[in-house]
Amino acid sequence: MSSHTLSVRLENKPGALARVSQLFSRRGYNIQSLAVGPTERADISRLTLRVDCSEHSLEQIEKQIHKLVNVLRVTELTHDNSVERELALVTVAVGPERRADLVSLALAAGARVADIGRDAITLEVVGRPEEIEALEELVRPFGVRELVRTGRVGVRRPSSTNQQPKGSNGRDRHVR
């Protein structure tokens, strides 16, 4: 078992997202994170899915997603060939006496202050998933009241020259 990121381009049609997500539960695969949003074209959405599964299951998932009528393309994003980012909002319980410590730590870690309350601060951070996790660890001792992550989104690096993984049918898996 290992984690994989799949990028799915799909038609922006009613129910299209539901068709992808029901396929995962139906076939017994667990989605770790899912982010969906518009793309450069209004009629196309992009889904970035994070799943924990074996190589064999991953191939099955890709093939099953391919068969969905609304799906235009499925690509696996790997660490080497893609840029991946995530956004997190963290509300940290902190009174005036330790506020300055937290803020300077957060700024040093690349976060921004999104809101300040009497006894709490909300930080926002955008970065690679590891950076999000690092910030989370950093502020945890202060007392994390709430944390929300968008789930990762990704695109292939224009600079990447890696070949796409091949499917068992001998063709590029992402080509329909």
Partner 1 sequence: MKMLGSDAILRCLEAEGVDVAFGIPGGAILPTYDAIARGTTVRHVLARHEQGAGHMAEGYARASGKVGVAIATSGPGATNLVTAIADAWMDSTPLVCITGQVRSNLIGTDAFQEIDITGISMPIVKHSWLVQEVDELPGVMRAAFHVARTGRQGPVLVDIAKDVQEAAIDFAYPDDVDLPGWKPPTRVHRRQVAEAARAIAAAQRPVIYAGGGVLNGDACAELRALVEEADLPAVVTLMGKGALPDSHPLNYGHPGMHGSKYANWALNKADLIVAVGTRFDDRVTGKLSAFAPGAKVVHFDIDAAEVGKIRHAEIPVVGPLKLALAELTRAVRVAGRPAHDAWLKQVEEWRQQFPYRYSRAGSMLKPQTAIEAARDLAASRDEDVIWTTGVGQHQMWAMQYLECDKPRSFVTSGGLGTMGYGIPAAIGAKAARPDATVVCIDGDGCFQMTCQELATAALERLPIVVVLINNGWLGMVRQWQEMFYDERFSETHLTHQVPDYAQLAEAYGGAGFTVHDEDELEPALEAAFACGRTAVIDVHCDPEEKCFPMVPAGAASVDTLEAPEEAVA
Binding site for partner 1 (CB under 8 A): 10-11, 14-15, 18-19, 22-23, 26, 56, 59-60, 63-64, 66-72, 167-171, 176
Query: Given the complex with partner 1, which of 56 and 118 has the nearer CB atom?
Result: 56
Asked if 87 and 147 touch (Cβ cutoff 8 Å), the reply is no
- Shortest CB 57 distance to partner 1, Å: 10
Give me the phi and psi of 19, to 5 degrees please: -65, -40
Task: Tell me how far, at minimum, the Cβ of 137 lies from partner 1, in Å.
Answer: 40
Is the distance from CB of 160 to CB of 120 less than 8 angstroms? no
Residue 152: CB minimum distance to partner 1, A? 24
- Closest CB to partner 1 among 71 and 135? 71
Phi-psi region of 109 (alpha: psi -120 to 50; beta: other; left: phi over 0): alpha
Residue 60 beta carbon to partner 1: minimum distance, rounded to whole angstroms: 6
Q: Are 124 and 158 in contact (CB under 8 A)?
A: no
Of residues 51 and 111, the one with the C-beta less far from partner 1: 51
Choice between 21 and 122, CB closer to partner 1: 21
Nearest distance, CB of residue 22 and partner 1, angstroms = 5
96-108 and 129-139 helices, crossing angle to 10°: 160
Burial class (CB in 10 A: 0-12, 13-18, 19+), 37: exposed
C-beta closer to partner 1: residue 62 or 84: 62
